[in-house]
Structure 1
Amino acid sequence: MAAASLSSRRLAVSILLMAISSIAYATQDEYASMMSSHFMGLHPRAGSRLLAAVKKGDRCDPVTNNICQGVQAKDGRQLLHCCKKHCRNVLSDRNNCGVCGHKCGFGHLCCSGKCTAVAYDVNNCGKCGTACQAELRCEYGSCGYA
């Protein structure tokens, strides 16, 4: 009876060790894949199936954990940079327009990374991307006849 109990324990320990070793190898393979992606110029998180893609608002550090430096998001509509420990879209953020820390003044919005006076800009009339027709001009944020 004691011999049967000892062999069932050995069997259980062997199965447990095999399961642990397969997990360790999978983790090593994922790490190797991440590192090879990193050295090929790709974002290190892009190849991992365990980590999500970088998005606006994610925490970062410009020196030690700069996960969003120049990363495009939302099908290229966003360009993320690490500004004050958070990923920010420098194409539309009024407090980080074009680069971190560049604030747009009163009456200006950040349109495509440039501070724009949307009250008078015919290509961004009232808001970014709203263009007036050729014969119209932008006055106080709405398109009207000249």
Structure 2
Amino acid sequence: MNTVPKVWLLLVVISALWLVSVSATDSDELDFEDKLDTTPWISTRQPGRFLLQNGGRNPQRRNWCGGGRAPNFACRLILPWPEFRNPQCCWTRNNNRRCFDVGADNDLRCGSCTRSCRPSGRKCCGGVCVDLLSDRNNCGRCGNRCRGRVRCQNGICGYNGGPRGDGDD
């Protein structure tokens, strides 16, 4: 009779130790998995948060494109849709390759890596360099169309006293 409580106590202690060791292992694994799941690889909405989480490194300043067969595919992973319309791998001035969104209205890379609107004084609208002062489809700003046969002059539809047709407003 005296041995039954001792055996029972021994089993309880062994079970408790086993549960503690298993739960510690599981929580360590879960903590590691949680860190993997909750830490974003890239933050597209808040670039400041990304820089803090990744030691101050900006993904666009790194040679993400590398020498792979599909560099633009890698850029699509780094700069995902819908925030970025057309990510491409472009060469920079210092012979480094970086990912840029050439689909954005960016005057340095307008629709492609090599098309720049800056030297001509034009603006990038939908991947095309346009003159906002005279373009009837982009009069004064991108997407502002002059109605009918009204001309765009100085960025205003019908500048010389004609109707000021604004297709969007």
TM-score range with shorter-chain normalisation? 0.5 to 0.7
Partner of 2:65: 62
Summarize the alignment of residues 29-48 of structure 1 with structure 2, pairs less than 5 Å apart.
none
Q: Kindly indicate which of the two structures has a greater share of residues assigned to helix.
A: 2
Name the amino acid aligned to 1:100.
Answer: C
CA contact (8 A) 2:75 2:99 kept: no
Name the amino acid aligned to 1:73.
Answer: P
CA contact (8 A) 1:92 1:110 kept: yes
- TM-score, normalised to structure 2, is 0.53
Pair 1:140 & 2:154 matched: yes
2:18 pairs with one of 7, 10, 33: 10
1:28-75 per-residue CA deviation (whole Å, 9 max, x = no partner) reads xx9xxxxxxxxxxxxxxxxx886477748772422267232795424x
Note closer, same or farther for the CA distance 1:92–1:54 as it changes in structure 2 (3 Å cut): farther
Q: Percent identity?
A: 21
Name the amino acid aligned to 1:9.
Answer: L
Q: Kindly indicate which of the two structures has a greater share of residues assigned to strand.
A: 1
CA contact (8 A) 1:118 1:126 kept: yes
SS at match of 1:81: strand
Summarize the alignment of residues 47-86 of structure 1 with structure 2, pairs less than 5 Å apart.
51=40, 55=44, 59-60=59-60, 61-63=64-66, 66-68=74-76, 72-74=81-83, 78-83=85-90, 84=92, 85-86=98-99
Which structure 2 segments of 5+ residues have no match? 1-5, 48-57, 93-97, 164-169
Name the amino acid aligned to 1:59.
Answer: P
Q: Which has the larger radius of gyration?
A: 2
CA distance in 1, matches of 2:19, 2:43: 44
Pair 1:128 & 2:142 matched: yes
Instruction: After TM superposition, give the deviation of residue 118 of structure 1 in Å.
Output: 1.2
* Aligned CA-pair RMSD: 4.0
Partner of 2:55: none
The number of equivalent residue pairs is 124
SS at match of 1:115: strand
1:101-124 per-residue CA deviation (whole Å, 9 max, x = no partner) reads 321033311111011111111000
Note closer, same or farther for the CA distance 1:137–1:111 as it changes in structure 2 (3 Å cut): same
CA distance in 1, matches of 2:42, 2:157: 39
Partner of 1:99: 112
CA contact (8 A) 1:79 1:91 kept: yes
Instruction: After TM superposition, give the deviation of residue 97 of structure 1 in Å.
Output: 0.5
